[in-house]
Amino acid sequence: MKVHEYQAKDIMRKYALAVPNGRVVTDAASAKVAAKELGCPCVVKAQIHAGGRGKGRFKEDPELGGVKLARTEEEAEDLAKRMLGKTLVTAQTGEAGKVVGRVYIEQAQNIARELYLGMVIDRERSKIVVMASTEGGMEIEKVAASTPEKILKEWVDPGTGLMAYQANKLVFGLGLKEDEAKEARSLMLGLYNMFIKEDASLLEVNPLVVTKAGKVLALDAKLNFDDNAAYRHKDRDALRDLTEEDPLEVEASKYGFNYVKVHGGSVGCMVNGAGLAMATMDIIKLFGGAPANFLDVGGAADSKVVENAFKVLVDDPEVKAVLINIFGGIVRCDLVANGIVEGLKHIGKIKVPVIVRLRGTNAEEGLKILRSSSLKFTVAEDFGEAAKKAVELAKKGGA
Amino acid sequence: MAILFDKDSKVAVQNITGHVGTFNTQRMLDYGTKVVAGVVPGKGGMVHLGLPVFDTVEEAARRRGANTSLIFVPAPFAADSIMEAADAGMKLIVCITEGIPTLDMVRAYDFVKKRGSTLIGPNSPGIISPGIGKAGIMPTEIHKPGKIGVISRSGTLTYEGVFQLTTSGLGQTTAIGLGGDPIIGTRHVDALRLFNDDKATKGVVMIGEIGGTDEEVAARFIEEEMKKPVVAFIAGRTAPKGKRMGHAGAIIAGSHGTALEKMEVLRSAGAHIVESPAEIGSTMKKALRKK
């Protein structure tokens, strides 16, 4: 789960970590009030779940980027007006861009140095790695590709946590001295503590700045949480911004199955298991079609889950054919078939062709259930054949 | 022959009395697996499915000689169960549980490594050595004793690969579901190394997916040390960037971890890449003939 910059900074404040003062607003008049209270100059920052905002441009206003300095309250108000409700396109949003629903007004800083600090779980070593670089404000992936020696790394022993000596190695490696070094070290240790307590999966402070007055501050903050640990953080749902998510995906998550919409595709897929679901999308593409979604009904799918999954598929106007590919193991094929039949009752007539391939546990029983229902469908024996048929029928339906 | 799970494997099932534990333990017994005990804290002394239940894994090891643990414990407590099994000296720990918090697994992984146990999973369908037994939830009837090792990060896609090997007459020595999480105990390269040394295994099917760098690490091993043909499929060519595709580990971060990148690295390391997941079995047949 991703959160906005202003939410990440709110959490950092709870841990008494150094961030500039700021306020989030949703209308231009409040932006003016906030700017007055915080004092000018201030920075107006578009809040979207994607990086590269400063270099990004608004579709409606190609001169305007997503992070702008305002010298006066009026300028802050004007900038907020030009950003709110408009679509910001950055290197990370894709061409469609993202609509800005909130802007963050923050006290401007006199910056002496821009640094980078990141924490992430290194899968190769199965440890948290803390990364620091003198190349703040840049895309860290570009730094890693061109000058990897400029990224300092410390891997954390999970038994001990991040040690002060490790923070020292990073801080002094960045060339910080005296009070600045002390502040940066305690910020680093504090951020690590927050990372653990909040079950984060990624934290990036880019840039981490040293001000001309010698203060060390997190000027930006990107924070992702581990969804698996959500049960330990009951208040987290309130941080979720549904406008950042695809409405069909939000619906799917309510029903408890995994769904990712792929825009522009025409073959809807319902599969059990994430790997098989991805492979089903791949084989559709291989046969010249385009998958409309990833949908994994999961290992514990009951007929209610299947019913809702089926509804989400046929509700998608882009879907011209539906491919159901179930390899029964724990999930029994007859159960899946029952779910589809129940779904049918609520949907009524299905307008698109349905191709079914059932294998494994109770596959025959499943097909029998489907045959005795009102569902018109095509049966496929193997994986390749199923995909081929689905692609053909989707093309016919689209024409 | 088989790897990791063989005729000497004696299984203790952690949380045997739960719904999933009960159902799958029965199927393991039906398949002829040596299940020797169950473990449920607070239920020691009970008998379940004809098996003695103990409060701790240590007791199951001491009293019944268990050397392999299979874990069906709910996610909030599963990391603890993994550590308990390692501390009790289990040689092999198989964790089926899905949804364990990643930071819990960072700790458990480190713990298991220091104790010298082998962990499979979490979020894995388990391991099966056809004809010998299984510690997992996979349907047994699609398997057949044979000569191909199977490694996969996915569940049902493993079944698909296994099924194709069975219908093409090749069968399997051992099939392992590595698990779909970002932190897993056994990775492609670890299993490849074991299959490489296993005399009965004549070839290996490796099914990877987007995210992480495990396939790239495996490619290095294939290029430098692998003596047997490897047939590889990577799921997720059509996956959009930055989206979690069901598995917590299946996510393309930045420009890394894409399927095409992984296929290319494996191809140049000498693996036989299947573009179509429906051609896993037939490609292995051809690869064996070439050799």
Contacts of B180 in chain A (CB under 8 A): 274-275
B219 has a pLDDT exceeding 90 = yes
Q: Would the CB atoms of B106 and A127 count as touching at under 8 Å?
A: yes
**Closest residue of chain B to A199, computed from CA coordinates:** B103
Cβ distance of A275 and B235 shorter than 8 Å: yes
Of A179-188, A302-311, A351-360, which gets the smallest average pLDDT? Answer: A302-311
- Contact by Cβ (8 Å): B83, B229: no
Separation of first and last alpha carbons in chain A: 39
Which of the residue ranges A93-97, A271-275, B250-254, B266-270 would you say has the lowest mean pLDDT?
Answer: B250-254
Mean pLDDT of B10-33: 96
Query: Searching chain A, which residue's CA lies closest to the CA of residue B137?
Result: A330
The predicted structure's pLDDT at residue A62: 95
pLDDT above 80 (res B255): no
Q: List the structure tokens of B19.
A: 């719904």
CA distance, residue B62 to nearest chain A CA (Å): 28
Q: Which residues of B touch A162 (CB under 8 A)?
A: none
Contact (CB, 8 A) for B127 and B190: no
* CB contact burial A96-135 (16+ within 10 A = b; e otherwise): ebbebbbbbbbbebeeebbbbbbbbbbbeebbbebbbbbb
Instruction: Name which residue leads in pLDDT, B27 or A399.
Output: B27
Q: B213 in contact with A at a CB cutoff of 8 Å? A: yes
Q: Tell me which residue has tokens 């948290």.
A: A128
Please say whether the beta carbons of B269 and B219 come within 8 A.
yes
* Contact between A89 and A57 (Cβ < 8 Å): yes
Mean pLDDT of B153-177: 95
Per-residue model confidence (pLDDT) at position B138: 93
Q: Which of A260, A273, A327 sits opposite B240 (nearest CB)?
A: A260
DSSP string, A153-205: EEEEPTTT-S-HHHHHHHHHHTT--HHHHHHHHHHHHHHHHHHHHTTEEEEEE
* pLDDT of A14 strictly over 90: yes
Look up residue A18 and give its two tokens. 């150094």
Question: How confident is the model at residue A299, as a pLDDT?
Answer: 67
Quick one: average pLDDT of B246-269?
85
Q: Residue A399: pLDDT band by 50, 70, 90 thresholds?
A: very low
What residues form DSSP beta bridges with A58?
A88
CA gap A356, A361 in Å, rounded: 15
% chain A with pLDDT above 70: 99
Share of chain B above pLDDT 90, in %: 91
Average pLDDT over residues A12-34: 97
Q: Does the pLDDT of residue A346 top 90, yes or no?
A: no
Partner A contacted by B268 (CB < 8 A): no
Tell me the nearest-neighbour CA distance from B143 into chain A, angstroms.
11
pLDDT in the model for residue B50 = 98
Give the DSSP H/E element, type plus range, for residue A373: none
Q: What is the pLDDT of residue B185?
A: 98
Measure A125 CA to nearest chain B CA, in Å.
9
Q: Which of A6-20, A168-182, A197-211, A229-243 comes out lowest in average pLDDT?
A: A229-243
Q: By CA distance, what is B139's nearest residue in A? A: A329
Amino acid residing at A270: M
> What's the pLDDT score for residue A137?
81
Q: Are the C-beta atoms of residues B74 and A300 closer than 8 Å to each other?
A: no
Interface size, chain A vs chain B, as Cβ–Cβ contacts under 8 Å: 181
Q: B182 with B209: CB under 8 angstroms?
A: no
> Residue A56 above 90 pLDDT?
yes
**Weakest-pLDDT range from A137-141, A371-375, B164-168:** A137-141
Q: What is the pLDDT of residue A246?
A: 82
Whether B103 contacts A196, CB under 8 Å:
yes
CB A287 within 8 A of CB A234: no
Dihedral of alpha carbons A98, A104, A109, A113, sign: negative
CB B141 within 8 A of CB B162: no
- Name the active-site residue from A6, A104, A116, A192: A116
Assess whether pLDDT exceeds 90 at residue B248.
no
B67 contacts B5 by C-beta, under 8 angstroms:
no
The nearest CA of chain B is from the CA of A31 a distance in Å of 32
Q: What is the mean pLDDT of chain A?
A: 92
Residue B244 confidence (pLDDT): 82
* pLDDT tens digits, A294-345: 999 886 667 788 888 988 898 899 999 999 999 987 788 888 898 888 888 8
Task: Provide the 3-class DSSP secondary structure of residue B186.
Answer: coil
Does B277 contact A279 at a Cβ distance shorter than 8 Å? yes
User: Which residues neighbour A380 within 8 Å (Cβ) at sequence distance 6 or greater?
Assistant: A355, A356, A357, A386, A389
Residue A283 with chain B: CB contacts under 8 Å: 276-278
Q: Is B138 on the interface with A (CB under 8 A)?
A: yes
Strands A151-156 and A222-225, sheet pairing: unpaired
Most A-contacting residue of B103, B124, B128 (CB-CB within 10 A), to test interface: B103
* Predicted pLDDT of residue B143: 96
> Using 50, 70 and 90 to split pLDDT, how confident is the model at A398?
low
Alpha carbon A151 to its chain centroid, in Å, reads 25
B204 phi and psi angles, rounded to 5 deg: -130, 130
Given pLDDT bands bounded at 50, 70 and 90, which one contains residue A19?
very high
pLDDT at position B254 over 80 = no
Contact A232, A273 (CB under 8 A): no
pLDDT of residue B179: 94
Quick: pLDDT tens for B43-97.
Answer: 999 999 999 999 999 999 999 999 999 999 999 999 999 999 999 999 999 999 9
Q: What is the ipTM of this complex?
A: 0.92
Residue in chain B closest to A278 (alpha carbons) equals B236
Give the model confidence (pLDDT) of A162-179 as tens digits. Answer: 999 999 999 999 999 999
Q: Name the β-bridge partners of B92.
A: B68, B118
Q: Cα–Cα distances in Å, from B159 out to B98, B138, B252?
A: 18, 8, 24
On the question of pLDDT at A161 being above 50, the answer is: yes
* pLDDT single digits (tens) A238-268: 999 988 888 888 888 888 888 999 989 999 9
Which chain B residue has the Cα nearest residue A275?
A: B154
